[in-house]
Amino acid sequence: MPSFSRRRNIGVAGATGAAVLQRSGLTAIAVLLLLFGSCSSRDVKLRTDAVSDRAAIPALSTDSVTTLVSDSGITRYRVTATKWLVYDKAEPPYWEFPEGIYLERFDEQLVVNSQLEADYAHYNQESHEWHLKGNVHSVNENGEIFDTPELYWNQDEEKIFSDSSIVITREKTIIRGVGFRSNQSMTLYTITNPTGIIPIEDADSTKNL
């Protein structure tokens, strides 16, 4: 799992509670036994629901955060998000970025060489897979631009893929298609079902019509 260096304040929400049961005399004990005998199944259900609900409650909620992500001890990425939620009790545990994410990738000299952003992001901590949705926009180190409504990124396999529509804007052409497979840096890629290649000059003239 990647390690992190938090640059902004991170708030951790938690709550604890305690109940005190007061008893006096044989009458109170008799009442308690009656109550436990008639409501024990309901109490068990309530306790079970409370435990299961922990998976739906984020253990950590952070607003306006910028985080450095390391891989094998080397700083590789900078993540910026309006809201970052961590669900460490879920199965599997995951992170959620419900208000969007902006990610920058560093080269060996810590110079930003590519960017990736989306309206929503989900990260599976066990499979190390990202799921990005909504106006997914990326620029690779060669300046090529990728636009798609949905994208998956498996860090362990170092692969990026999508079954959605894809538009790739290169220096002289715009490539359209459905389905996309790429290496992690998005420099070696294939479109599963190409639907058209448009020269930039033709694309510009079409916009002016």
**pLDDT tens track for 132-177:** 999 999 999 999 999 999 999 999 999 999 999 999 999 999 999 9
Query: Where are the strands (E) in the chain, listed by range?
Result: 3-6, 60-71, 74-87, 94-97, 101-106, 112-118, 120-124, 129-139, 145-154, 159-169, 173-183, 189-199
pLDDT score, position 108: 84
pLDDT score, position 120: 98
What is the average pLDDT score of the chain?
A: 79
- The yes-or-no verdict on residue 33 having pLDDT over 90 is no
Higher pLDDT, residue 109 or 24: 109
- The yes-or-no verdict on residue 19 having pLDDT over 60 is no
How much of the chain exceeds pLDDT 70, in percent? 71
pLDDT score, position 208: 52
- The yes-or-no verdict on residue 73 having pLDDT over 90 is no
Query: Whole-prediction pTM value?
Result: 0.70
pLDDT score, position 35: 35
User: Has residue 22 been placed in a domain?
Assistant: no
User: Has residue 28 been placed in a domain?
Assistant: no
Please report, for the domain that includes residue 169, its CATH number: 2.60.450.10
Which helix (H) or strand (E) segment holds residue 25: the answer is helix 25-53
User: Has residue 133 been placed in a domain?
Assistant: yes
- The yes-or-no verdict on residue 49 having pLDDT over 50 is yes
Q: Which residues 6+ apart lie within 8 Å of 142 measured at CB? A: 187
User: Has residue 39 been placed in a domain?
Assistant: no
Domain that holds residue 156: 3-10+55-207
What value does the mean pLDDT take over residues 101-119?
93
Please, which pLDDT band fits residue 204 given cuts at 50, 70 and 90?
low
User: Has residue 29 been placed in a domain?
Assistant: no
Tell me the one-letter amino acid at 163: D
pLDDT score, position 50: 53
**Domains held by the chain: number:** 1
User: Has residue 64 been placed in a domain?
Assistant: yes
